[in-house]
Amino acid sequence: MDRPPSARAAPEPRLFEHDSGDTRTKILEAAFRRLATEGYAALSVREIAKDAGVNHALINYHFRTKDQLVIEVLDAANQRLLARQATMYGAAGGFADKWAEARRFYEDDLASGFVRVQAELWAASLANRGLRATFLPRLLAWKQVVLDAVRAALATLQAQGVKLPAPFTAEVLVCWITYFWVGMEFADLLDMKDARAQHEAALDAVQWLLRSLDAPKRPRGIQAGVSRPAAPKRAGSRTAVKAAPRRSASTRGKR
């Protein structure tokens, strides 16, 4: 008999879906697991080497410094996840469906350990200027993906005769989306009381609005607050996303 969800062991954090046996890949995978379970402050090159089954000198050979190693860990995950986001935004489908898909991405990123890894590097960057200089461009790359998606969504709406008031620019919407997402990630990682339910309600509200915009005939309630379409089906137990016209797109997305 299966154990209830709360009693099941959490899945092991994974960076790559498949093991290649390559030394560099083994080191990156081991570093990702350590970051996702113990954090940046406790990161030990010797322990990473032990987990990877290699001599610790090989880490210096391949990556030179610990910070270079963690940035390459982030890059290995980020490149794949950003491509996933961009593909989803560019695919056919309504805004609400994409928002729901972004929420599923977020759940995956929590389970994989990526959200924890990105948060650890964010926190470490506060005191480490060198790490900050290399980390921030990676973070901003995600924000750019969301901005491109929101601009495309607004262009689609305008072509359909829907134009938002002047203050609601793409940049303003992206600010709301991305920084809500980051705050949600930290709250989830800290397991803040009642935060998950509040986030889910907020994400459901956005999904309701996007479903209304997707409707062939938009109800007058969008403008007058009268009628409202059926509430969206929830996208997961924890909520969240990382995407945009639907979200962010979170995220992450973290990444």
What is the pTM for the complete model shown?
A: 0.75
- 78-115 pLDDT, tens digit each: 888 989 999 999 898 899 999 999 999 999 999 999 99
Judge contact between 148 and 245, C-beta under 8 A: no
Q: Domain tally for the chain?
A: 1
The CA-based diameter of the chain, rounded to the nearest angstrom, is: 67
List the domain range (segments joined by +) for residue 98: 73-224
Q: Report how far residue 100's alpha carbon sits from residue 180's, in angstroms, rounded to the nearest whole number.
A: 16
Is residue 194 domain-resident?
Answer: yes
Is residue 25 domain-resident?
Answer: no
Is the Cα torsion angle 147, 151, 152, 154 positive or negative in sign? positive
Tokens of 196: 């998950």
Tokens of 167: 């203050």
Is residue 46 domain-resident?
Answer: no
Is residue 212 domain-resident?
Answer: yes
Is residue 220 domain-resident?
Answer: yes
How confident is the model over 6-16, as a mean pLDDT?
A: 59
- 154-185 pLDDT, tens digit each: 999 999 898 899 999 999 999 999 999 999 99
N-term to C-term CA, the chain = 35
Is residue 98 domain-resident?
Answer: yes
Per-residue model confidence (pLDDT) at position 228: 43
Per-residue model confidence (pLDDT) at position 173: 96
Is residue 8 domain-resident?
Answer: no
Per-residue pLDDT at 236 exceeds 70? no
Band (pLDDT 50/70/90 cuts) for residue 12 is: confident
Is residue 235 domain-resident?
Answer: no
How confident is the model over 2-8, as a mean pLDDT?
A: 38
